[in-house]
Amino acid sequence: MITLDLNGVWKMKEESEVDWQDAIVPGSVMNDLLVNEKIDDPFYRDNEHQSYEIASKDYQYTREFHVEEQLYLQDKVLLVCEGLDTIAHIYINGKLITETENMHCTYEIDVKPFVEIGKNEITILLFSPISYIKEKQEQMPLWGVVDAVEGYPHIRKAHSMFGWDWGPKIPDLGIWRNIFLVGYSTGRIEDVYITQNHAEEVVVVDVRVKLENVKGSGIDIDVTLISPDGDSEIKTVTIQSENEEHISFSVENPHLWWPNGYGDQPLYKVEVNASTKDKQLDKKEYHIGLRTLTIKHEPDEWGKSFEFVVNGISIFGMGANYIPEDNILARVTPERTETLLRDCIAANFNMIRVWGGGYYPDDYFFDLCDRLGLIVWQDFMFGCSVYNLSDDFKQSITQEAIDNIKRIRHHASLGLWCGNNEVEEAWVYWDFPKTPKHRTDYIKIFEVLLDDIVKEYDPQTYYWPSSPSSGGGFDRPRDPNEGDVHYWEVWHGLKPFDEYRKYHFRFCSEFGFQSFPSLKTVKSFTLPEDQNIFSYVMEQHQKNGSANGKILFYLSENYLYPKDFDTLLYASQLLQADAIKYGVEHWRRNRGRCMGSIYWQLNDCWPVASWSSIDSYGRWKALHYFAKKFYAPVLLSINEEGTTAGIYITNETVSTKECRVEWKLRQNDSSIISSGTIEQNVAQLSAVLCETLVFDDILQEEKARETYLECVLYVDGVEKSSTTVLFTKPKHFAFLNPSIRHKVTESEESFIITLTSTAFAKYVELDVTDADCKFSDNYFDLSANEPKQITVDKSLISEKLTVEDFTSQLAVRSVFDIA
Ligand code: BMA
């Protein structure tokens, strides 16, 4: 097998122009224009608008390549395009070889008749996605979300590139994934499908190898299974006339793969080699984890469950929804993704949902999830829209589904295929022009076609028709007692945070709350005169029309009116963190009935006000620090109601924990009114109410505004976490000036910050003004004269700082500083 890489330097130009520019493949038009300094940063101020015009034009990409005789003489020569975005015509040596219309597909084109020995030229014409959908939309209007360019459901291109309620309208174009030529004569490996069957102490790994046997001659297949310890077993078969063979391995005492928090992530390697007596033909490599992973969706006392079951254990899904990491896809790199996914692990996630309005992530995304122990809920790329099932559309999405299932199905982390995001729910509850044909098309696509394709190509992975759903058929997709739910009454419905406590969803796969990014991020896209949340530029970076009003509404309910712009940004992040904490802690207290919380949303694709917990620069908002705490394997949470406080411990680990809670009811100056200790053994995978503290006598009107409850959790004798609750809204709490003092010392690896206060301080925020770093804890509470130490890993600071620099740049504030 001979490969000729066509990635690298190409030339590009707008179709009607004469001059060519340098281009990088894989990449995109917008990225090339930016690198060549032909356009300004589309994320700055309102530059987004220039993108619409850019994407309204057609572009040509071209390069020369040299074909050696050895490649040319192969029986087969294919051009492989792993991703073309989107409407493209491909020419080789001036001849049209194919047309493409789906960015999610891999295209393989026989180019043997078109290439020559020596110099060749490939040209790819990329047509404006805007003109394409405009024309289609005129022929048949299809409904989609109002924040995106009208007509986007017509094209198989990441929906959110056309705009979303957190995304800019930058429908870029490009050769966005690898492109290469491949030549072979005797045969090649066409497909490898690995399944596993688990029995007591043994797993049978079956490797089905499919060959493209060009000459119908004997081809040897070697399959090697290498254990995580490096032991290997090899099996060889010879394929004659048939093109397919199963090779099985019995793995005794298997090292099982577990999601983060339940065990390790050992990976076995499967190597598949195809050869003849004298020639190596083809080789493929896979990393697999031995585990069973499915969904339990069964009737029970509350309705019908929805829970992920790994190796027989029902786990509580803890994570967030993932959207494309950059609107300019060319800028998403393995390093950037790795940082983001490691941040998920740092916040104790065991799951991530790839939302259906983006694209199917790269292989490295799944490799990382395998290694880190993040279960992937993978939506098919459909969301919030109406689709028209024409013959062409059917053929295109069928190919798309098969390509991606085959590419992803071997990954240990793959937990679920889900048909779409919110399309079933839209048909039942949303208001848009509904035709019987498109309603039937919904069923055909999501309950027949994709279901059948998953059953054929990846029957070991569970298929769920839509999110949210109760199982399909337009049957109560929002039912809180069945399947998964997207709950938006807190936020879109302006309900208070404790409204979450009224529901015991079986699995909450979306709920969210917006905040502004930090001042550093805001500064990256604004001038000083823009720095007001209602300014023209700030509103360009707020894509949810009514959201600023919502943030201000919740602010009025919870905090004092902030003294300036920067403080408003801080307060908005506290609101967001508090809201999501209310939901997650409540659902984790109800573990068993509720089995997952996946908040909306993990990340951003540009600097914007949004529901994310990590902004587009990778900066953690208060919510991400909160997530680290509310997703802790052993969680202490308090259900305060009036003058009572229920003390709960949720143990998401696989061993019983000996827990002790030391509680203190304190005055705003931190003096102790009363205190106590609760000892409780908490069984694995369970939640218990340890005790309900009643403070009727103490917490009279006045007192409630100056008293807080502090609880510290010790697990097996070690202090694990602490939390405080107020018995009034923070805006009414009588905070005293905490006069927080800090001292920074250093070790070889870290800076160590020691903080002390003279009174109770809530949500203490640490930041360094001119660099980025991650604190071991942030947005924490301090009681007077009880020093707290926070560490910062020096290797994770964006700039090299001395201890003096770090100290001078350290900014500290708390809720007291809001007004
Ligand atoms: C959800 C998502 C997204 C959207 C978010 C915030 O339901 O599926 O479509 O961005 O709400 O409105």
Average pLDDT over residues 348-376: 98
C-alpha to C-alpha distance for 208 and 272, rounded to whole angstroms: 10
pLDDT tier at 701, thresholds 50, 70, 90:
confident
Note the pLDDT tens digit of each residue in 457-491.
999 999 999 999 999 999 999 999 999 999 999 99
Cβ contacts of 586 within 8 Å, gap of 6 or more: 500, 501, 639
CA 652 – ligand 1 centroid, Å: 28
C-alpha to C-alpha distance for 205 and 238, rounded to whole angstroms: 19
Note the pLDDT tens digit of each residue in 625-647.
999 999 999 999 999 999 999 99
Determine whether the shortest distance from the Cβ of 608 to ligand 1 is under 6 A.
no
pLDDT(215) > 90: no
Cβ contacts of 94 within 8 Å, gap of 6 or more: 121, 123
CA 191 – ligand 1 centroid, Å: 36
CA 387 – ligand 1 centroid, Å: 18
Average pLDDT over the chain reads 97
CB of 663 closer than 8 Å to CB of 678: yes
Q: What angle do CA 666, 672, 675 make, to 5 degrees?
A: 90
Q: Which atom of ligand 1 is nearest to the CA of 145?
A: 9
Determine whether the shortest distance from the Cβ of 425 to ligand 1 is under 6 A.
no
The number of helices, as runs of H, and strands, as runs of E, in the chain is 17, 45
Residue 675 burial (C-beta neighbours within 10 Å; 0-12, 13-18, 19+): exposed
Tell how far CA 118 is from the center of its chain.
45
Peptide bond into 26 cis (omega under 30): yes
CA 331 – ligand 1 centroid, Å: 23
Average pLDDT over residues 705-732: 97
Note the pLDDT tens digit of each residue in 276-289.
988 999 999 999 99
SS3 track for 525-545:
HCCHHHCCCCCHHHHHCECCC
pLDDT(143) > 80: yes
Determine whether the shortest distance from the Cβ of 510 to ligand 1 is under 6 A.
yes
Which amino acid makes up residue 506? Answer: R
pLDDT(25) > 70: yes
CA 413 – ligand 1 centroid, Å: 24
Q: Which atom of ligand 1 is nearest to the CA of 611?
A: 6
pLDDT for position 217 = 85
Which two structure tokens, joined as six digits, stand for 252? 């005794």
- % of the chain with per-residue pLDDT over 70: 100
Average pLDDT over residues 382-402: 98
402 phi and psi angles, rounded to 5 deg: -65, -45
CA 510 – ligand 1 centroid, Å: 8
Q: What angle do CA 206, 270, 248 make, to 5 degrees?
A: 20
pLDDT(576) > 70: yes
pLDDT for position 640 = 96
CB of 484 closer than 8 Å to CB of 282: no
CB of 23 closer than 8 Å to CB of 173: no
CA 156 – ligand 1 centroid, Å: 19
C-alpha to C-alpha distance for 545 and 555, rounded to whole angstroms: 17
Helix (H) or strand (E) holding 197: strand 187-199
Q: Which atom of ligand 1 is nearest to the CA of 166?
A: 10
Specify the higher pLDDT residue, 207 or 238. 207
C-alpha to C-alpha distance for 776 and 757, rounded to whole angstroms: 19
Which amino acid makes up residue 563? Answer: K
Determine whether the shortest distance from the Cβ of 420 to ligand 1 is under 6 A.
no
CA 672 – ligand 1 centroid, Å: 45
Determine whether the shortest distance from the Cβ of 165 to ligand 1 is under 6 A.
yes
Residue minimizing CA distance to atom 12 of ligand 1: 165
Note the pLDDT tens digit of each residue in 108-134.
999 999 999 999 999 999 999 999 999
Residue minimizing CA distance to atom 10 of ligand 1: 165
Residue minimizing CA distance to atom 3 of ligand 1: 165
pLDDT(241) > 70: no
Residues in the chain: 819
User: Where do the H-state alpha helices sit in 590-671?
Assistant: 622-630
Task: Give strand ranges (E) for 456-510.
Answer: 463-464, 485-486, 508-510
Determine whether the shortest distance from the Cβ of 147 to ligand 1 is under 6 A.
no
The strands making up 761-768's β-sheet, listed across from edge to edge, are: 780-782, 761-768, 810-813
Which two structure tokens, joined as six digits, stand for 286? 């896979």
Residue minimizing CA distance to atom 1 of ligand 1: 510
Closest by alpha carbon to 260, among 163, 344, 152, 330?
Answer: 344
Which two structure tokens, joined as six digits, stand for 705? 């505004």
Q: What angle do CA 91, 94, 100 make, to 5 degrees?
A: 15
Which amino acid makes up residue 704? Answer: A
Note the pLDDT tens digit of each residue in 428-456.
999 999 999 999 999 999 999 999 999 99
Cβ contacts of 348 within 8 Å, gap of 6 or more: 260, 261, 318, 627, 628, 631, 632, 633
Closest by alpha carbon to 727, among 666, 663, 643?
Answer: 643
Q: What angle do CA 466, 467, 473 make, to 5 degrees?
A: 40
Phi-psi label, residue 173: left if phi above 0, alpha if psi -120 to 50, beta otherwise: beta
The DSSP-derived string for 213-265 is ESS---EEEEEEEE-TTS-EEEEEEEE-S-SEEEEEEEEES--B---TTTS--
Residue 591 burial (C-beta neighbours within 10 Å; 0-12, 13-18, 19+): buried
Count of C-beta atoms within a 10 Å radius of residue 300: 12
Q: Which atom of ligand 1 is nearest to the CA of 355?
A: 8
